[in-house]
Amino acid sequence: MDVLKIKNFWKIFKQNKLGVVGLIILLIFVFLAIFAPLLARFPSLTTGAGEAFLNPSFKHLLGTDNLGRDLYSELLFGARITLVVSFIAVITSTVVGVLFGSIAGYYGGIIDSILMRITEIFLVIPPIFLALVLVAIFGANITNMIIVISVLSWPQTARLVRAEILSLKERPYCKAAIATGESDFKIIFSELVPNTMTTIIVNLSLTQATAILIESALSFLGFGDSSMVSWGLMLNNAQEFFRQSWFMVFFPGMSIFLVVLSLNLVGEGLNDVFNPRRKK
């Protein structure tokens, strides 16, 4: 059964209950993000909209922060940043990662050694450190954030794809393709990479989860784009006000947690579909 066909895929995926839960949560957040302007009661970043430190009420669903801003609205707009930034970063890094990984894995030799050294370097430098330094030098805005997160994420994907290609390369059908006279380009992208699709897809959701964590951490530390609302920024703001309002900490953090959790759950579900464990 070909699990990359939608019909078959869904049949197996829905057996993993947690995966389905994750998918639902994810879709809810996507929905909230898309329709944020419609759903928000108050436009974000307006101060003095209400009293500070209000508890959740009908008017302010999740309460207000130290400047009287509506937490619920902030949260909705924050969702947009989080999801968009992480998504673009993931797509970019995956494309780059697959390119590098497959070429390095297939050709081996110097290209491969270089790739392996590069990925080792990225493994050794603590990601936040690198991100902070880059942001400090080049400035903290949305574009840079996306670039920085992409730069941090592609080595992992490349490594993964390279490992798969290395083992697939030894399969007789790859040797047969060479023997038939297929061009290298076609062999890599028409014979080998399609067989790594399942790995790449699972990796997508996991990479996005990590991307969101990095983005929130950067914003939390104060190095995100301060002109836009983001959940990490909200937590940064809340750092001083533990005693006054724990909502300011709870809701943004819970949102990050839920989105990341849902992505990880979906990733697990995908993994179960593509690499089923053989057990009754």
Partner 1 sequence: MNLRNPLLKIENLKMHINTYEGKIKAVDGVNLELFAGEIIGIVGESGSGKSMTSRTILKLLPEGGEVISGKITFKGRDILQSSEEEIRTIRGSKISFIFQNPATFLNPVLKIGDQIIENIILHQKIKKKNANESAIRLLTDVGLRNVDKIIDCYPHQLSGGMQQRAMIAMAISCNPDLIIADECTTALDVTTQLQILNLLKDISKKINISIIIITHNLAVVAYLCTRTYVMHEGKTIEEAKTNDLFFDPKHDYTKKLLKSSRIINEEKFYSTEGESEILKVDGIKKIFRLPRTKDPLNAVDNVSFKLKEGEIFGIAGESGSGKTTIANLLMGLLNVTSGEITFLNKEINEFVKKDRKKFRKNIQMIFQSPFGSLNPRKTIGSILSLPINIHFKNTKDKTKEKVLELLTMVELVPPEIFFDRHPHELSGGEQQRVAIARAISTEPKLIISDEAVASLDTSIRVDILNLLKRINKKTKVSLIMISHDLSVLKNMCTRIAIMHLGKIVEIGKKEEIFLNPKHEYTKSLLTATLQIPNKERQTHDK
Partner 2 sequence: MNYSYLVKRGIQIIPVVFGILIISFLMIHLAPGDAVFMFIGESGADPEFEAAIRTRLGLDKSLFEQFILYIKGIFSGDLGRSFVLNEDVSKIIFDRAIPTIILMLSSISFGAIFGILIGVYAASKPYSMRDNISMVIALFLYSLPNFWLGQMLIIVFSVNWGLLPVSGMESMILGDKSFLFDRFTHLVLPTITLGSTLAAFVMRFVRSSMIDVLGQDYILTAKSKGLSERKIFFKHALKNALLPVITYIGLRLGYMLSGAVVIESVFGWPGLGLLMLDALFERDYPLIMGLFIVISLSVTIITFIVDILYTYLDPRIRLK
Query: Considering only residues 6-35, where is the footprint of partner 2 by CB under 8 A?
Result: 18
Determine how many CB atoms are found less than 10 A away from the CB of residue 28: 14
Is 238 a binding residue for partner 2 by CB under 8 A? The answer is yes
CA distance 80 to 255: 12
- Per-residue interface string for the shown chain with partner 1, residues 251-280, x marking contact by CB under 8 A: -------------------------xxxxx
Is 182 a binding residue for partner 1 by CB under 8 A? The answer is yes
Is 172 a binding residue for partner 1 by CB under 8 A? The answer is yes
Which range binds partner 2 by CB under 8 A, 3-11, 34-42, 55-63, 249-257?
A: 249-257
Is 213 a binding residue for partner 2 by CB under 8 A? The answer is yes
Is 15 a binding residue for partner 1 by CB under 8 A? The answer is no
Which of the 8 DSSP states describes residue 108? -
Phi, psi (rounded to 5 degrees) for 125 = -80, 125
Say if CB 191 and CB 182 are below 8 A apart: yes
Is 277 a binding residue for partner 2 by CB under 8 A? The answer is yes
Nearest to 164 by CA among 124, 117, 203, 125: 203
Burial 73-93 (b: 16+ CB within 10 A, else e): bbbbbbbbbbbebbbbbbebb
What's at 99, amino acid-wise? L
Interacting residue with partner 1 among 95, 194, 254, 275 (CB under 8 A): 194
Is 274 a binding residue for partner 2 by CB under 8 A? The answer is no
CA distance 11 to 19: 13
Among partner 2, partner 1, none, the one that 276 touches (CB under a kind-dependent 5 to 8 A) is: partner 1
Alpha-carbon torsion (84, 85, 86, 88), positive or negative: positive
Secondary structure class of 64 (helix, strand, coil) = strand
Phi, psi (rounded to 5 degrees) for 141 = -135, 175
CA distance 107 to 165: 10
Question: Nearest distance from residue 38's CB to partner 2, in Å?
Answer: 28
Question: Nearest distance from residue 162's CB to partner 2, in Å?
Answer: 16
Number of residues that bind partner 1 (CB under 8 A): 20
Interface with partner 2 by CB under 8 A: which residues? 18, 117-118, 120-121, 123-130, 132-134, 136-138, 209, 213, 216-217, 220-223, 235, 238-239, 242-243, 246, 249-250, 252-254, 256-257, 260-261, 264-265, 268, 277, 279
Interface with partner 1 by CB under 8 A: which residues? 2, 171-173, 175-182, 191, 194-195, 276-280
